[in-house]
Amino acid sequence: MANENVVHLHVGTEIHEGWKDVSITLAIDRLSGQFDVSLTDSWIAHGQRERLKVTEGDACTVRIDGETVVTGYIDEVARDYDDASRRTSLRGRDKAGDLVDCSAPVQDWRDRTLAAIASDLCRPFGISVSARSAAASVTPFARFATNPGDTVAATLERMLRQRGLMAWSDGLGGLIIDTVTEDAPVATLQPGVNILSGQCTRSMADRYSAYTAMAHADGGADADDLEDADTITAPSGSATDPGVPRHRPLVLVAETQAGGPTLASRADHEAKTRAARAAQAVYSVPGWKNPSGALWRPRQTVTLQDDLLSLSGRWIITQVQFRQTDREGTVTELTVARAAAFAVLAEPEKATGARGWDEEDA
């Protein structure tokens, strides 16, 4: 039987393994996966071992038991030594890391879909785009333009907000555009059964008892003229969060455009997403695979039965960190949140000026 939980780093025709420490992080709330691996040679036992032949900038692929989890580049190579040993550490990211770092071209598009524009932006980096949601490939933008100086990631994020979508790396050198929803659970997590440790943070800091979304008042009145100001009325929508026990109101000033969300839906969305984001849990579980034998992956659904943290029901895995060290062995750290925390309310398209970019963002 082949060894399990083995990480191979492929660089050109070379395959490297035997790492002392491993950390591989994949997430749906960041565009790029990343890895950190290191190995240590003893001068006494392996004094003649050939030096690891890798260079910063090398293209690479990271695989766990033959399954690819990161396809990208080595960002950093660190080497150190003392009189007893020498150590090499490597850090890298998916190809999508370049989208986070690099500027988008100054360009505009007319009557093109999100999927088409995203493909144009990603193609120079050798990144393919898989639009799994119809919202990315059906309704075109009347006009969309980049803001000079914005990164490709920031440009993509602006488009994604207008279609109510998210994007993350597929680990194979491509980008997935989709929504985050609950699926059939891949596992049930329980203390004393398959949880090594658990931690939960709950916060009231960003939650409010009442939300009011108001449109810009268009009365042409002087803000200092109280008599005129009293005559101005603006449409509004409201929602409440019954989980907030004290008076904490929040007023949101929103744009209203044809085809955009209603003010009531804006207020309701704000209440639900803030409530969902207020609780996040992190669990450590043994090994790198779920009960079906597949690797843990972001966007998988799990059922929590945790009386110690008072958590239950279905939760979405938002981040997976595969770790392997002498101290803790082989473990996976799972960050979980409610699916509602990742709901994105589609924003209306903004008018563009003669300069070619959004007037509001200029």
The confidence score (pLDDT) of residue 347 equals 77
In a 10 Å sphere around its CB, with 0-12 CB exposed, 13-18 middle and 19+ buried, how is residue 38 labelled? middle
pLDDT tens profile 276-320? 999 999 999 999 999 999 999 999 999 999 999 999 999 999 999
The confidence score (pLDDT) of residue 304 equals 98
In a 10 Å sphere around its CB, with 0-12 CB exposed, 13-18 middle and 19+ buried, how is residue 331 labelled? buried
- Residues 64 and 6: beta-carbon distance below 8 Å: yes
Integer Cα distance of 72 and 173 in angstroms:
7
pLDDT tens profile 56-87? 999 999 999 999 999 999 999 999 988 888 88
Integer Cα distance of 64 and 71 in angstroms:
12
Residue 187 tokens read as 């596992």
Q: What is the pTM of this model?
A: 0.86
Residue among 114, 216, 92 at smallest CA distance from 164: 114
Integer Cα distance of 327 and 21 in angstroms:
10
The confidence score (pLDDT) of residue 215 equals 84
**How far is residue 266 from each of residues 214, 285, 347, 348, measured CA to CA in Å?**
9, 38, 10, 12
Integer Cα distance of 10 and 63 in angstroms:
8
The confidence score (pLDDT) of residue 39 equals 87
Contacts 24+ apart (CB under 8 A), 312-317: 314/182, 314/185, 314/339, 315/281, 315/339, 316/180, 316/182, 316/341, 316/342
The confidence score (pLDDT) of residue 350 equals 63
DSSP 8-state class, residue 302: E
Integer Cα distance of 208 and 250 in angstroms:
6
Place of tokens 């695989």: 63
Integer Cα distance of 263 and 255 in angstroms:
9
Residue among 232, 272, 240, 235 at smallest CA distance from 254: 235
Strand runs labelled E in 146-286: 166-169, 174-178, 187-189, 197-202, 210-215, 236-240, 249-254, 279-286
Q: Residue 45: helix, strand or coil by DSSP? A: helix
The confidence score (pLDDT) of residue 204 equals 96
Write down all domains in the chain, each with its CATH number in brackets: 7-43+55-93 (2.30.300.10), 99-178 (3.55.50.10), 187-203+279-342 (2.30.300.10), 210-218+232-276 (no CATH)
Residue among 241, 271, 237, 278 at smallest CA distance from 254: 237
- Residues 93 and 71: beta-carbon distance below 8 Å: no
Residue among 133, 135, 128, 63 at smallest CA distance from 95: 128
- Ranges of residues in the chain with a pLDDT under 70 are 1-2, 41-51, 216-234, 255-260, 348-362
DSSP 8-state class, residue 148: T
Residue 282 tokens read as 């992190």
Give the total residue count for the chain: 362
